[in-house]
Chain A
Amino acid sequence: MKTVSPFLELESGPRVKVILDDVALSLPQGANLAAALLAAGVPVFRDTPISGAPRGPFCMMGACFDCLIEIEGTTRQACMIEVTDGLEITRIHHDEALA
């Protein structure tokens, strides 16, 4: 799913390792997780439980719940989380969400 990023990053601070579905990414420490994943070329964050349609961040302010991801077994809003070293993120898929 990782593609060339449609986004440009202005900041160049220290980066830390984050695991997204078993793939290691290098993201800016302390950055907004949703923004950091977008900038890393990750457009799709999950599939919807109804139709399995792909979704990514929409509002970036904690209101729309489209950027939901799973961290340590809990569904969280990626746009409300800061990047920390060793963060393990799982993308939620259609069949899992229904289970």
Chain B
Amino acid sequence: MTRSDLAIIGAGPAGMAAAAQAAELGLCVTVLDEQPRAGGQIYRDVDRVAPLRGDILGAEYTYGATLTASLKHSAITHLAGAIVWAIEDQFRISYTRDGRGAQLDADHVLLATGALERPMPLPGWTLPGVMTAGAGQILLKQSGVLARDAVLVGSGPLLYLIAAQMVRAGTPPKAMIETQTRSDFISAAQHMGGALRGWRYLAKGLKMLASITRAGVPRYTSATDIAVQGTDKAEAVSFISNGHTQRITCDTVFLHHGVVPNVQAARSLGIAHTWDAAQQCFVPKRDEWGQSDKEGVFIAGDSAGIGGAKAAEYAGTLAALQIAFAAERLTREDRDRCAAKLRAKLAHEQAARPFLDAAYPPYAQALLPDDSTVICRCEEITAGDIRGYAKLGCIGPNQTKAFGRAGMGPCQGRYCGLSVTALLADARGQTPDETGYYRIRPPLKPVTLSELAGMEVTTPDAVH
């Protein structure tokens, strides 16, 4: 059994920056990440891909190579392809790698597990050919695979980013079906001050929009009643935009209406979460260093609340400073001096966020879908099923499991948890905080018996 001062779950910007900072301060760090190469989703496979198609993906993507380079430090062990499935006992981390179970011990844990796409349940969203916009981007980043005939559906900056990248790659999307309305933009205007402080993001957004328009990509806004049609796979998207019913044939649909923190690991540790009304998701409670309410467990980056890649990098570094301070590798003065600069950068980075959250809110009909829409993809439970459970007296998300197995399939609630909370809260006239969320338990990912049987287990406390 190996022991580290710090175990980091996730090799995205938060995890990589934290590892580099902690190692520099003399800590022994292990980074566990599911992917074969470092970068997280935002910088996925950047070392291999940047020379191949950095021009399509842009400088903000290729920048990730500076972070992956910082992992090459003698005090950092990067366990690529490590699927973490349990974090227990102050702290023993169980994971699968190369088909075998393994464990490591650590004094501190940093959860840098990133974001998931906000579930976007609408009619037909389970059909083959319908993917998240993030999936579309991953296909392009990691594999150089581009949809020839895709329709982009939803709202938010990521939708424009992938559209702009598709334009640069020579396969512009067939159409963009956007759910934000003019009134969303008007209500966002109150946050314009922050947006102007974060003007770089606005300028980037306008540039992306210009390139999409220049490429002749049709944009439909204020879209409602969106449905993907098809029998065995996606064939068309129908919707109403500004009073007109539309139907666009396509074989690929990329859905996106924001990303939300991936809280599976934090939830499994019993860390308290609260509802963030601006971002319409649960976020883990933590202090200014990212320390959660569980001593020794820190959370940084998008898994602590959506802020984007640069904000994640700063938050990861802040957490590392505090962990090094706790491990007596850094004086209070040095910690605070380093932190002040980072906090200023972080504030600057977050300035445009309230504007973006208000201008591109989630698609209302996917937050509270029609009765017939499947919300739990694994167990094929519909929104109507959940409403029915509420009528029968179901008091919370954990009880929906007993009523109909919602959240009990292989994804373990990752793509239905927020929908179930929203539907129950709506049906019972409660807030999301009152309604709560699924209880998440290990294993966080499925483990096979052969992986367990192949596990090297040593008990440090064993009597010899």
Contact = CB atoms under 8 A, between A and B. Distances in A.
- Chain A binding surface, main DSSP class: loop
B254 to A, nearest CB: 11
Given A39-B145, A61-B138, A55 B169 contact: no
Interface string A45-80: 100101101111111111111101000001000001
Contacts of A11: 52, 143-144
A7 B147 contact: yes
A23 interface: no
A35 B232 CA distance: 19
A59 B116 CA distance: 9
Contacts of A59: 116-117, 131-132, 134-135, 415
Given A8-B148, A10-B53, A80-B34, A38 B134 contact: no
B105 to A, nearest CB: 25
B129 A6 contact: yes
Interface stretch (B191-199, B406-414, B418-426): B406-414
A35 B414 CA distance: 22
Contacts of B410: 65, 68
B448 interface: yes
B134 A56 contact: no
B377 interface: yes
A88 interface: no
A58 B135 contact: yes
Nearest to B44: A61
Nearest to B379: A50
Contacts of A68: 410
A44 to B, nearest CB: 5
Contact of A31 (B52, B143, B149, B414): B143
A65 B411 contact: yes
Given A48-B380, A63-B262, A66-B377, A56 B145 contact: no
B453 to A, nearest CB: 13
B135 A57 contact: yes
Contact of A60 (B135, B146, B232, B409): B135
Contacts, number: 117
Given A7-B139, A45-B128, A62 B34 contact: yes
Contact of B132 (A7, A36, A58, A80): A58
A55 B411 CA distance: 14
A53 B380 contact: yes
Interface size range on B against A: 35 or more
A32 B44 CA distance: 12
Contact of B139 (A35, A54, A66, A74): A35
A63 B410 CA distance: 9
B129 A43 contact: yes
A8 B411 contact: no
Interface string B143-169: 111111100000000000000000001
B57 to A, nearest CB: 11
B128 A9 contact: no
Given A63-B116, A63-B415, A82-B36, A58 B377 contact: yes
A32 B138 CA distance: 10
Given A7-B148, A64-B411, A44 B143 contact: no
Contacts of A8: 145-148, 171
Contacts of B142: 32, 35
Contact of B232 (A36, A48, A54): A54
A64 B143 contact: no
B149 to A, nearest CB: 6
Contacts of B144: 9-11
Interface in B169-188: 169, 171
Contacts of B169: 10
17 contacts: A6-B148, A6-B149, A9-B143, A9-B146, A10-B53, A35-B142, A43-B233, A51-B380, A54-B232, A54-B233, A56-B233, A58-B415, A59-B415, A60-B132, A62-B34, A64-B411, A65-B410
Given A32-B143, A59-B134, A64-B414, 16 more contacts: A6-B149, A10-B169, A11-B143, A35-B139, A35-B143, A43-B233, A57-B135, A58-B132, A59-B135, A59-B415, A60-B138, A62-B445, A63-B262, A64-B411, A64-B415, A65-B411
